Structure 1
Amino acid sequence: MTNSKIHTVPFDAAIYLTTIESQSELLNDALETGDPTYIAVALGTIARARGMAEVAEGAGITREGLYKALSPTGDPRLSTLMGVMKALNLQFRAVPAERDHVTTG
């Protein structure tokens, strides 16, 4: 009987986010959930796909600070998020949320 082990490697979505369209799709999915952790992690994944040092420089933050802010335990400031979005050449957009019934007056 042979004792063989399966070798696994950690999954990193960043290697699959090769287009701005796929990166935008990930970020839009995160934004639609409203989950701050998912949003930060999605931005971090996109930043890794583009090159963390380059994004950090464009956002005006250290690479280490960017890793920390966009980690699952990070809580980035709005100014950090806006800097990252600018460095990634992405924009936040506001659209009305879907509601069952909208009343006025």
Structure 2
Amino acid sequence: MRELVVGEATFIRSDDSLPQEAHGIRYNVGAAKEKNIMGNHYAYTSIDTEGVNYWDNSDYSELTLQANLGYRHKKYRTVMGRCSNCRAKPTRRKSV
């Protein structure tokens, strides 16, 4: 659709603004590492890259790079999905 009519205004689209066709590959690669500083304290780093590479229309290829640096506080019960303070209480059975 080369012409777009909105109310009384008519917009004419150029070839560059029309939808493009391309063939390519989407990718995503990342790595993360935690280093124990002391006790339950950890330093966290990660790097990720993702994008799309079109071999027949490279003007539309994309690349994103993300780097993270942070701090984490961990406890055994939260890492393992358990609560160390939550113990099952023994139940008594009534004799009939």
Q: What TM-score do you get using the length of structure 1 for normalisation? A: 0.23
Q: Which has the higher strand share?
A: 2
- Greater relative contact order (Cα < 8 A, sep 6+): 1
Q: Which has the higher helix share?
A: 1
